[in-house]
Amino acid sequence: MGQWDDKFERAERRWSEWTMHDYARTERVIGHIIEDKARRHPYREVFRFRDRTITFDELNAASNRAANGFRALGIGAGDTVALMLSNRVEFLFAWFGLNRIGAVCVPINAALKGEGLAYQIDHADCIALVAEPAYAATLGAIADRLPKLNHTIVVDARAQPHLTGWPGREALHFDELMSRAETAPGVAVDFRQLSTISYTSGTTGRSKGVLISHHYWYEIWSQAVKYSRYTDQDVLYTGLPFFHTSAHGTTGPAILADAQAVFVDRFSASRMLDDCRRWNCTSAKFIGGMLSILMKQTPSPLDADNPLRLMVGAAAPPHLWHAFEARFNTRLLELYGMTECSSCLVNPYDDRRAGACGKAVTGYEARIVDDLDNEVARGTTGELIVRPQRPFLGTSGYYKDPDATLDLFRNLWIHTGDLARQDDDGYFHFVDRKKQALRRRGENISSFEVEAVIGAHPAVLESCVVGVPSDLGEDDVKAVIVLRAGETLTEAELIRWCEPHLAYFAIPRYIAFRDSLPKTPSERVEKYRLRAEGITADCWDRERAGIVVQR
């Protein structure tokens, strides 16, 4: 780790010498921040989309053009506009342009189709939509279910010069939107106003629109700069999709820290390190599944030869933590959060703990409680609830869903719906989603922990564990497994692998090997699908096979 220690010392020196410009609360408006950065550092390159770079001055001018273009369409303060785009610069121009005039951006999951897609656009009351030609057929198929939509703005005129079949009363090219003046639109925007409505992934139920203000984005970004110790020397990398709030744990911190953000279309285990070497990236975002996939790539002498001083994200598999750091010559910074309370727990930078998602260090207090919201003893599993300690931190609720908002803020705490425990040193440890936890014959089972054991098998690429109805009541454990290319593994061999690592009651009864797991574009496994399908024809049954596990 000698090379990394040298990088760490240099980063520490930069951090101690650098203080982020802290905007007054009334200035914590996205348009004001970008305008200020363009004035201070007009020629600094803040974003890179492979071979295209964007300076602060270009970002400010393009945001103004987009803002004036939206205004010319009659879009103003409080209006909502959907963005159905891949990771391309037009997403940022549109988002920041809308926010300049007090309008609201609604990022749309690009994999949605049919009813789910129509629901989000219509539920958010979107009067305009920005999309690219790849989604023309998908959007055209639901045009009759979007009565509020007035305009569709199509990115990339070369791919679709003739605008037909799009929803809304009028379609135009993004170039036309951007043909307006670069001058600021002169619209007063308050830091408490909505910036974004971000719909949840819907892995446990119908998607809900989380309300994110300008000030909340600022809090998310500024805290990321602090806990990651970003400076103007850093280059941040992500392949997470722009419709996912985690991606903008790269966008905003780069703006505030005068750093650079590098965006790629999607995460690729085979390309990621080459990308980081090519652009000298010092930090990268991850979610847990990415680390497992990277570790299962064929080892290379070049693995440790990379500029990454830090990888920041959630759900790092504990059994891979130290091996990952050693192999890739970097350090992991684990955090916990959800759109409603982003990064409310973070591992202390100088005192990280493998397997923990950190402490409440970003303006939140956190507790573990029982079903009646009574705090439980340390070491006891319960629901994680959090509460902001500063005004306007966190979401103000769900769009047009007062019942869900009241449930979220029950007893004046944000209820995460996640099971966790707190150790004697104050670190929080994720256990499972409350709705995804299993109970078999009186015993509670963490699907997260069972997946970690299965995922540690060298033949396994990834797995998902869910509960299916048992003849005896409660749940039986079902595991759906994807093997690495060229590997083989029998069900009985997997059971024997699990025995030394899991309690007998947590060892899967049903096992299904498949080519892939159903996922959202942000790489979250859609567990509800696997749970809803129950016991399928491809499920091997341990009890029917006569295999008895050791107690």
Whether residues 147 and 247 fall in one domain: no
Q: Please give the residue that has the higher pLDDT: either 389 or 7.
A: 389
**Final residue in a domain of this structure, among 413, 433, 453:** 433
pLDDT at 129 over 90: yes
Give the pLDDT score at 86.
95
Judge contact between 490 and 483, C-beta under 8 A: no
Whether residues 298 and 397 fall in one domain: yes
Whether residues 304 and 396 fall in one domain: yes
Q: What is the mean pLDDT of residues 518-542?
A: 83
pLDDT at 2 over 60: no
Q: Is residue 203 part of a domain?
A: no
Whether residues 350 and 497 fall in one domain: no
What proportion of the chain, given as a percentage, has pLDDT over 70? 93
Q: How far apart are CA 163 and CA 283, in angstroms?
A: 40
Whether residues 265 and 327 fall in one domain: yes
Q: Is residue 10 part of a domain?
A: no
pLDDT at 89 over 70: yes
User: CA distances (Å), 114 to each of 86, 110, 524, in order?
Assistant: 19, 12, 20
Q: Coil, strand or helix: which one is 26? A: helix
Q: How far apart are CA 49 and CA 305, in angstroms?
A: 23
Q: Is residue 20 part of a domain?
A: no
The pair of three-digit structure tokens given for residue 24, joined into one six-digit string: 């007054």
- pLDDT per position as a tens digit, 472-510: 667 889 999 999 999 999 999 999 999 888 878 889 999
Give the pLDDT score at 330.
97
Burial environment of residue 327 by CB neighbours within 10 A (0 to 12, 13 to 18, 19 or more)? middle
Q: Please identify which residue in the block is written with the tokens 């996912």.
A: 244
Q: How far apart are CA 346 and CA 419, in angstroms?
A: 17
Cβ–Cβ contacts within 10 Å for residue 281, how many? Answer: 24
Q: Is residue 39 part of a domain?
A: no
Q: Is residue 522 part of a domain?
A: yes
Give the pLDDT score at 319.
83
Q: What is the mean pLDDT of residues 238-247?
A: 92
pLDDT at 7 over 60: no
Judge contact between 317 and 455, C-beta under 8 A: yes
- pLDDT per position as a tens digit, 189-241: 999 999 999 998 655 557 899 999 999 999 999 999 999 999 999 999 999 99
The pair of three-digit structure tokens given for residue 364, joined into one six-digit string: 């939140």
Whether residues 377 and 492 fall in one domain: no
Q: What is the mean pLDDT of residues 134-143?
A: 93
Give the pLDDT score at 20.
59
Q: What is the mean pLDDT of residues 357-362?
A: 92
Give the pLDDT score at 205.
56
Whether residues 383 and 246 fall in one domain: yes
Q: What are phi and psi of 208, to 5 degrees?
A: -120, 145
The pair of three-digit structure tokens given for residue 368, joined into one six-digit string: 């573990």
The pair of three-digit structure tokens given for residue 444, joined into one six-digit string: 């509670």
User: CA distances (Å), 81 to each of 123, 198, 404, in order?
Assistant: 12, 12, 23
Give the pLDDT score at 136.
94
Q: Is the dihedral of CA 106, 112, 117, 123 positive or negative?
A: negative
Q: Please identify which residue in the block is written with the tokens 């303060």.
A: 77
pLDDT at 70 over 60: yes
What proportion of the chain, given as a percentage, has pLDDT over 90? 73
Q: What is the mean pLDDT of residues 2-22?
A: 57
Q: Is residue 7 part of a domain?
A: no
pLDDT at 8 over 80: no
Burial environment of residue 481 by CB neighbours within 10 A (0 to 12, 13 to 18, 19 or more)? buried
Whether residues 425 and 443 fall in one domain: no
Judge contact between 67 and 100, C-beta under 8 A: yes
Give the pLDDT score at 26.
82
The domain tally of the chain equals 3
Whether residues 225 and 368 fall in one domain: yes
Domain assignment of residue 120, given as a range: 56-189
Give the pLDDT score at 14.
57
**Final residue in a domain of this structure, among 189, 223, 245:** 189
Judge contact between 308 and 234, C-beta under 8 A: no
- pLDDT per position as a tens digit, 371-427: 999 999 999 999 999 999 999 999 999 999 999 999 999 999 999 998 899 999 999
Q: What is the mean pLDDT of residues 41-53?
A: 97
Whether residues 531 and 485 fall in one domain: yes
DSSP letters for 405-428: HHHHTGGGSEEEEEEEEE-TTS-E
Contact partners, residue 194, CB within 8 Å, separation at least 6: 78, 104, 211, 212, 213
**Final residue in a domain of this structure, among 374, 406, 433:** 433
Give the pLDDT score at 24.
87
pLDDT at 60 over 80: yes
* Beta-sheet pairing, 151-154 with 332-336: unpaired
Whether residues 144 and 250 fall in one domain: no
Q: Domain of 459: which CATH number?
A: 3.30.300.30
Determine which helix (DSSP H) or strand (DSSP E) holds 95, and give its type and residue range.
helix 89-100
- pLDDT per position as a tens digit, 442-468: 666 778 778 888 988 999 999 999 988
Whether residues 273 and 404 fall in one domain: yes
Q: What are phi and psi of 300, to 5 degrees?
A: -135, 145
Q: Is residue 2 part of a domain?
A: no
Q: Domain of 407: which CATH number?
A: 3.40.50.12780
Among 11-25, 166-180, 210-224, 342-356, the least confident range: 11-25
- Residue 296 pLDDT class (50, 70, 90 cuts): confident
Q: Is residue 34 part of a domain?
A: no
Q: How far apart are CA 46 and CA 261, in angstroms?
A: 6
Rounded to 5 degrees, what angle do the CA atoms 141, 146, 151 make? 100
Judge contact between 54 and 61, C-beta under 8 A: no
Residue type for position 436: Q
pLDDT at 354 over 70: yes
